[in-house]
């Protein structure tokens, strides 16, 4: 029975190992991390923006999956933005990491000088490495063929493209991520690239009172494996000239060719104190596996530096 359990677990892990996924997305985009998934968001403000995230899944398990990421982006000259991010993802015997770098270009959509109305497009390249530690998997038969791997490391390169726009408090974006540049065939030596992902988002900042606005939004994640994941978000923000406080909820569902599920509901809190941002989410699982393994949480920290790269500033 013990061996059967190990084989089942390893088979599941092997499937995850063969489909190389880059940075997993959670609610980073609600906590100033939009640029992690859409290169058109590089340099969308006049600040140099630093953003760091830590996400922990299945809090009932000691060795549960966790993801860390840190990125920086800003306007580097004229209307050009650039960004750089790195991440690490750990899941039992599987560990992965990557680095992404790219650039964007902005086009004003109005004569206002606060960059409220603008269109942008961008591209980036991701370099990704995954490692499978066979020695960390323990079974009764040490010569189990499932434990014999020809290589413990896999390297992949991906291209990403995106576009985004804001106009009269409406914001929208689209990005195509994880277009394989290496090992791009369906199966190459037992390695399958990550499915191409499509992110589409739409939202509106409704200013219905002084110093208060509400933001309903949705994000759709599609991929070439016929999976559709949708986030429905509602945030309320109270602000003054320097500080702000935002609170809301994010609800996620997923559908594929075989089934549809309600995945989770997540309270979201974000506090901005001058140029410092602190945020957190707590994902309450609604699926069977999350009920068994526990919930998850994410902590986020950010800071907006005065632009020390482009002293001339953005050209309106």
pLDDT tens figures, 292-316 = 778 899 999 999 999 999 888 777 7
Could you tell me if residue 36 is inside a domain?
no
Could you tell me if residue 192 is inside a domain?
yes
pLDDT higher than 80, residue 290: no
Mean pLDDT (the chain) is: 85
% pLDDT > 90, the chain: 60
Could you tell me if residue 17 is inside a domain?
no
What is the tens place of the pLDDT at every residue in 78-100? 999 999 999 999 887 888 999 99
Could you tell me if residue 11 is inside a domain?
no
Could you tell me if residue 126 is inside a domain?
yes
Mean pLDDT calculated for residue range 47-72: 90
Instruction: Quote the pLDDT of residue 142.
Output: 58
Mean pLDDT calculated for residue range 42-62: 90
Could you tell me if residue 228 is inside a domain?
yes
What is the tens place of the pLDDT at every residue in 157-170? 999 999 999 999 99
Reported confidence tier of residue 185, pLDDT bands at 50, 70, 90: low
What is the pTM for the complete model shown? 0.85
pLDDT higher than 50, residue 10: no
Q: How many domains does the chain have?
A: 1
Could you tell me if residue 30 is inside a domain?
no
Q: Which two tokens stand for residue 124?
A: 């980036």
Q: How far apart are CA 41 and CA 47, in angstroms?
A: 12
CB 230 within 8 A of CB 218: yes
Could you tell me the residue range of the domain that residue 116 belongs to?
43-305
Reported confidence tier of residue 138, pLDDT bands at 50, 70, 90: low
CATH of the domain at 62: 2.40.160.40
Instruction: Quote the pLDDT of residue 190.
Output: 53
Could you tell me if residue 34 is inside a domain?
no
């Amino acid at each position: 029975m013990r061996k059967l359990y190990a084989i089942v677990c390893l088979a599941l892990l092997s499937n995850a190992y063969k489909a190389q996924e880059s940075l997993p997305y959670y609610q980073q985009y609600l906590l100033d991390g939009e640029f992690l998934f859409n290169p058109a968001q590089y340099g969308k403000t006049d600040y140099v923006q630093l953003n760091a995230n830590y996400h922990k899944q299945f809090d009932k398990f000691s060795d549960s999956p966790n993801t860390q990421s840190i990125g920086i982006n800003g306007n580097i000259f004229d209307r050009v933005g650039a960004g750089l991010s790195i991440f690490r993802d750990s899941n039992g015997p599987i560990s992965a990491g990557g680095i992404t770098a790219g650039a964007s270009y902005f086009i004003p959509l109005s004569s206002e000088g606060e960059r409220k109305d603008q269109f942008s497009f961008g591209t980036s390249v991701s370099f990704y490495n995954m490692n499978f530690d066979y020695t960390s998997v323990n079974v009764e038969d040490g010569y189990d063929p499932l434990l014999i791997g020809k290589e413990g490391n896999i390297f992949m390169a991906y291209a990403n493209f995106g576009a985004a726009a804001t106009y009269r408090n409406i914001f929208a974006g689209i990005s195509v991520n994880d277009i394989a540049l290496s090992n791009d065939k369906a199966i190459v030596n037992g390695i399958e690239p990550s499915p191409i992902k499509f992110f589409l988002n739409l939202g509106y900042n409704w200013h219905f009172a002084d110093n208060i606005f509400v933001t309903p939004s949705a994000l759709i994640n599609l991929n070439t494996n016929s999976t559709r994941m949708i986030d429905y978000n509602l945030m309320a923000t109270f602000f003054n000239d320097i500080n702000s406080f935002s609170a809301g909820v994010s609800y996620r569902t997923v559908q594929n060719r075989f089934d549809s599920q309600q995945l989770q509901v997540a309270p979201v809190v974000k506090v901005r104190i001058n140029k410092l941002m602190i945020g957190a989410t707590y994902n309450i699982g609604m699926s069977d596996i999350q009920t068994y393994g526990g919930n998850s949480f994410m902590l986020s920290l950010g800071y907006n530096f005065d632009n020390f790269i482009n002293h001339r500033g953005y050209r309106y």
